[in-house]
Chains A and B, each alone.
Chain A
Amino acid sequence: MDREANDLAGLVARARSGDVGAFESLYHSLQAGMYSFIRSQVREAELAADLTQQTFVRAWESLPRLRQDGAFVGWLHRIAANLVRDEIKSGHARLEIAASDVLDDPLPDQRATSPEEAAVFQGLKAAVWAALGQLPPDQRAAVVMHHMEGMSVTEIAQAMKCRPGTVMSRLSRAREALRRRLSSYVEDSDAEM
């Protein structure tokens, strides 16, 4: 287990014993990934924020029942996936994501240093999320967890309750589709290299 995972497991252990400060640190470490994961499954930003909130509240309540501190991230994704599924069943959530839907979503950090860079980055973000919106939900979830959250194939398989081979298959099909849909950006970055 690397240092980051150790730190996370330590925070989970403290949060389980009732330390709200530790749970807040967990939230700040994981909120962007969790929100993106949920946002990849529902169209409305407001609903995604609400489901993110519900995910963390439910996690706090259920933490004493978590068996392995190291399994926290996958467990959190399962809570979120169940909430999203319930929301979709109830007919409240829409799955399609349009480019315009994510333009106003805040970024976790301000990477662009100038207004021009910010505009380019905003365009890239919109294009990626629009392309993601055209993928099937399982592929979308796998792409967000792997490329945006940095989760390994094994971790994704545990979170999605499927075999690692299934995750790799979803990732490869998604990447093939995204490579076509984002061809202008892919070729631009090729030209810059």
Chain B
Amino acid sequence: MPKCERIRRELPQYAVGGLQGRARGRVLRHIESCSACRTELAALERTGALIGSAGPLSAPPETWPAISAAIVARPRPHGHPAAFRSWRVALGIVTVLILIIGVVFVRPFHSSSPPVTVTVTAEMEAGDDDTPATMESHLAAQWSTPLADEAAVGLRMSDLEGS
């Protein structure tokens, strides 16, 4: 293939800055010495300028009033700014991580502690003090916050055993 023909195939790419390295150097060296290819490159560059000088077109003047009426009639749905959204995402991730840590590390530790045995004595059943009510409230609390209230039940049981 004659050299000019090969270079001319690369000229459009060269004209838009799409050639790099060796390919670019090859075209550059050739157009320095070849006036016909230089003329072709100039024509391609002028074509770009010509397109730019012909446009752009303008939207009809009634377009903005129509947009304005539409955005006033339809209020924007409430959204949060991007920064707030990223904070929400971060907060969600931290919450999930805390839950995972809780399940993986705390749960086995909790299940290895000895089970609490509640012994209901005759005195308790007789209702001569407020122990049953206290136990009931502690057991209810233990249901919702097992770790915290287990300690409370333990303390209460040692009190009962000591008395």
Assign chain A's interface to a size class: 35 or more
Across-interface contacts of B47 in A (CB, < 8 A): 175, 178-179, 182, 186
Closest to B15 in A: A175
Kindly specify which of A1-9, A82-90, A145-153 makes contact with the partner chain.
A145-153
Across-interface contacts of B12 in A (CB, < 8 A): 172-173, 175-176, 179
Which chain B residues in 54-100 approach chain A with CB under 8 Å?
Answer: 54-64, 66-68, 70-72, 74, 76-82
Q: Are A31 and B59 neighbours in the complex by a CB distance under 8 Å?
A: yes
Across-interface contacts of A56 in B (CB, < 8 A): 67
Q: Are B79 and A171 neighbours in the complex by a CB distance under 8 Å?
A: no
The count of A-to-B residue pairs whose CB atoms sit within 8 angstroms is: 149
Chain A nearest CB from B35 CB (Å) reads 14
Complex Cα–Cα for A169 and B42 (A): 19
A149 in contact with B56 given A124-B50, A169-B13, A172-B16 (CB within 8 Å): yes
Q: Is B160 an interface residue (CB 8 A)?
A: no
Across-interface contacts of B68 in A (CB, < 8 A): 20, 24
Which chain A residues in 26-79 approach chain B with CB under 8 Å?
Answer: 27-28, 31-36, 39, 45, 49, 52-53, 56-57, 60-61, 63-68
Q: Are B46 and A189 neighbours in the complex by a CB distance under 8 Å?
A: yes
A108 in contact with B56 given A168-B16, A175-B15 (CB within 8 Å): yes
Across-interface contacts of B102 in A (CB, < 8 A): none
Q: Are A175 and B59 neighbours in the complex by a CB distance under 8 Å?
A: no
Q: Are A128 and B56 neighbours in the complex by a CB distance under 8 Å?
A: no
Closest to A108 in B: B58
Q: Is A116 an interface residue (CB 8 A)?
A: no
Across-interface contacts of B17 in A (CB, < 8 A): 153, 168
Main secondary structure of the interface of B (DSSP, over half): helix
Q: Is B124 an interface residue (CB 8 A)?
A: no
Q: Is B122 an interface residue (CB 8 A)?
A: no
A189 in contact with B44 given A31-B58, A36-B56, A172-B15 (CB within 8 Å): no
Q: Is B51 an interface residue (CB 8 A)?
A: yes
Which chain A residues in 101-132 approach chain B with CB under 8 Å?
Answer: 102, 105-108, 124-125, 127-129, 132
Q: Is A159 an interface residue (CB 8 A)?
A: no
* 8 Å CB contact of A53 from B16, B70, B72, B79: B70
7 smallest A-B Cβ distances: which pairs? A64-B79, A168-B18, A36-B56, A128-B54, A172-B12, A35-B59, A148-B55
Known: A64-B81, A106-B61, A168-B13. 7 other contacts (CB 8 A): A28-B64, A34-B59, A49-B60, A57-B67, A150-B52, A169-B18, A175-B15
B interface residue numbers (CB < 8 A to A): 12-13, 15-18, 42-44, 46-64, 66-68, 70-72, 74, 76-82
What are 22 of the A-B contact pairs (CB < 8 Å)?
Answer: A24-B68, A31-B58, A31-B59, A31-B64, A35-B57, A35-B58, A49-B63, A60-B67, A60-B76, A64-B79, A68-B82, A108-B58, A124-B53, A125-B54, A125-B55, A143-B51, A148-B51, A172-B12, A175-B47, A176-B12, A178-B47, A189-B49
